[in-house]
């Protein structure tokens, strides 16, 4: 059971990284794949804390930071779509 609990988040991590590297045209797809990677890290921490009977305080802090990070990413996406009309990652070089 422990190997399955660690295999699923590892598989999610690899799929998220592959998706991040191959779907690099749109910013929304990149943000979604990064959130998938962070979710796999959260699942790994949750399973590890659960197996060692630790407190879940650190996982609550991690998920709150994850929510703040996703809100910042979505705000950047909204500003980019309002300014340029698309969410292509290549148009970010125009911003700087």
Report pLDDT digits (tens) over 40-54. 999 888 888 877 777
Helix (H) or strand (E) holding 37: helix 27-52
Sketch out the chain's domains with CATH numbers.
2-95 (1.10.287.3510)
Residue 51: HSE in the Cβ half-sphere, 13 Å Cα cutoff: 12
Taking the model in full, what pTM does it have?
0.80
% of the chain surpassing 70 pLDDT? 93
Q: Could you identify the residue written with the tokens 């802090």? A: 61
Which of 28-42, 46-60, 78-92 is predicted most confidently?
Answer: 28-42
pLDDT at residue 95 above 60?
no
Q: What is the mean pLDDT of residues 21-44?
A: 87
What are φ and ψ of residue 93, in 5° steps? Answer: -70, -20
């Amino acid at each position: 059971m422990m190997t399955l609990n660690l295999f699923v988040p590892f598989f999610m991590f690899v799929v998220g990284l592959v998706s991040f590297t191959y779907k690099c045209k749109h910013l929304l797809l990149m943000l979604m794949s990064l959130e998938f990677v962070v979710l796999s890290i959260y699942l790994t921490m949750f399973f590890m804390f659960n197996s060692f009977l630790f407190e879940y305080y650190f996982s609550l802090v991690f998920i709150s930071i994850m929510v703040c990070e996703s809100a910042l990413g979505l705000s950047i996406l909204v500003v980019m779509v309002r300014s340029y009309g698309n969410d292509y990652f290549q148009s970010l070089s125009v911003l700087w």
